[in-house]
C-alpha cells in the first residue's frame, strides 16, 4: 500500500496526537489523492521530524485534513552541513538542480551570479521553494534545504565558510586535494557552463577552497551538481 507524504511545517514536536495539515496539502490529499479516514500518511516538518499518521477526518470543503500521529521520529541535525553555491542554468533546468540537491542532502542552496552566468534571476522564485518541498517529500529527506536569494559571487564568497571545494575543469596537471578542514559547515561551488573566470577561481583558492573534478570532460551544471555532491556527501 502506498503511503503518501505531506509537508506540515507546523508539525508539533511534543506529544500531540492530532495535527491539521496546511490548506494546500489538505486539498491535495482530499481532492487529488482522495484520501479518507483510516488511510495512512507520512508527515514531514522539514526540520528533522517525520511522523507516521492516520487520517481521522476530512472537512467537507477539503481545506482541513486531521491526522492522528501514531509514531514520530526526530532526526538529529547532521554533523556536517553542505552548502551548495551554484550558478543557475537557464529555464527549468534549475528545478532539476534543486531536486537533486535536496535528494542528496544539501543543507542550504545559494544561487550565485557569476561573470559567465547565462541566467541572472533577481530574487528567489516561489517555484523554487515548491520544488524543494516536492523533492523532500519524494526522498523522505527530513531536512528541507534553505534557499537564499540570488547573490553576487564576491558577496557570497565573503559570507561563506572557506571550507570545501569548487567544481573545476579536468586537468592532467592537478588533482583534488583532501579537505583540510573540520568545520561543520562546508561548501561546494559550481559555476556556470562557461566556467568560473580566472579571477573567480583565484578568489576561491584564496578563500581556501580546493578544486574538485569528476570524469574527464566538461559537465553541464545539473550533471556537475549530481556528480560532485555524490562524491563528497
- Of 12-21, 85-94, 126-135, 145-154, least confident by mean pLDDT is 12-21
Determine the pLDDT at residue 79: 94
Q: Hey, where are the domains in the chain?
A: 4-74, 81-232
Confidence class for position 179, pLDDT limits 50, 70, 90 = low
Does pLDDT of 85 surpass 80? Answer: yes
Question: 128 with 144: CB under 8 angstroms?
Answer: no
pLDDT for the residue 173: 43
What is the residue whose three cell numbers read 583565484? Answer: 202
Residue-wise pLDDT tens digits, 188-197: 999 998 899 9
pLDDT confidence of residue 30:
66
d(CA 135, CA 141): 8
Give, in words, the CATH class of 81-232.
alpha beta
Q: What is the CATH number of domain 4-74?
A: 2.40.240.20
Q: Is 147 helix (H, G, I), strand (E, B) or coil?
A: strand
Question: Could you tell me the strand order of the sheet in which 18-20 lies?
Answer: 4-7, 40-44, 49-58, 65-74, 18-20
Average pLDDT over residues 3-28: 72
Of 79, 78, 68, the residue nearest 48 (C-alpha) = 78
Is 2 buried (19+), middle (13-18) or exposed (0-12) by CB count in 10 A? Answer: exposed
Q: What is the chain's mean pLDDT, rounded?
A: 87
Phi, psi at residue 67, to the nearest 5°? -125, 150
pLDDT of residue 205 exceeding 50, the answer is yes
Amino acid at each position: 500500500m502506498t503511503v503518501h507524504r505531506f509537508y506540515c511545517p507546523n508539525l508539533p514536536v511534543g506529544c500531540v496526537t492530532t495535527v491539521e495539515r496546511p490548506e494546500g496539502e489538505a486539498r491535495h490529499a482530499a481532492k487529488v489523492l482522495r484520501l479518507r479516514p483510516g488511510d495512512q500518511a507520512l508527515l514531514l516538518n522539514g526540520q528533522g521530524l517525520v511522523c507516521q499518521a492516520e487520517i481521522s477526518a476530512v472537512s467537507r470543503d477539503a481545506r482541513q485534513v486531521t491526522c492522528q500521529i501514531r509514531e514520530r521520529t526526530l532526526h538529529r541535525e547532521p554533523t556536517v552541513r553542505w552548502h551548495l553555491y551554484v550558478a543557475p542554468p537557464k529555464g527549468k533546468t534549475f528545478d532539476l538542480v534543486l531536486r537533486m540537491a535536496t535528494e542528496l542532502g544539501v543543507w542550504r542552496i545559494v544561487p550565485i551570479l557569476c561573470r559567465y552566468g547565462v541566467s541572472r534571476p533577481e530574487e528567489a522564485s516561489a517555484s523554487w521553494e515548491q520544488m524543494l518541498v516536492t523533492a523532500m517529500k519524494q526522498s523522505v529527506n527530513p531536512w528541507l534545504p534553505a534557499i537564499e536569494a540570488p547573490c553576487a559571487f564576491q558577496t557570497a564568497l565573503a559570507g561563506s565558510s572557506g571550507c570545501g571545494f569548487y567544481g573545476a575543469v579536468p586537468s592532467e596537471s592537478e588533482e583534488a586535494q583532501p579537505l583540510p578542514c573540520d568545520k561543520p559547515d562546508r561548501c561546494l561551488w559550481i559555476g556556470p557552463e562557461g566556467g568560473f573566470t580566472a579571477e573567480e577561481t583565484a578568489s576561491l583558492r584564496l578563500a581556501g577552497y580546493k578544486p574538485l573534478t569528476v570524469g574527464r570532460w566538461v559537465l553541464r551544471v545539473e550533471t556537475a551538481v549530481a556528480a560532485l555532491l555524490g562524491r563528497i556527501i
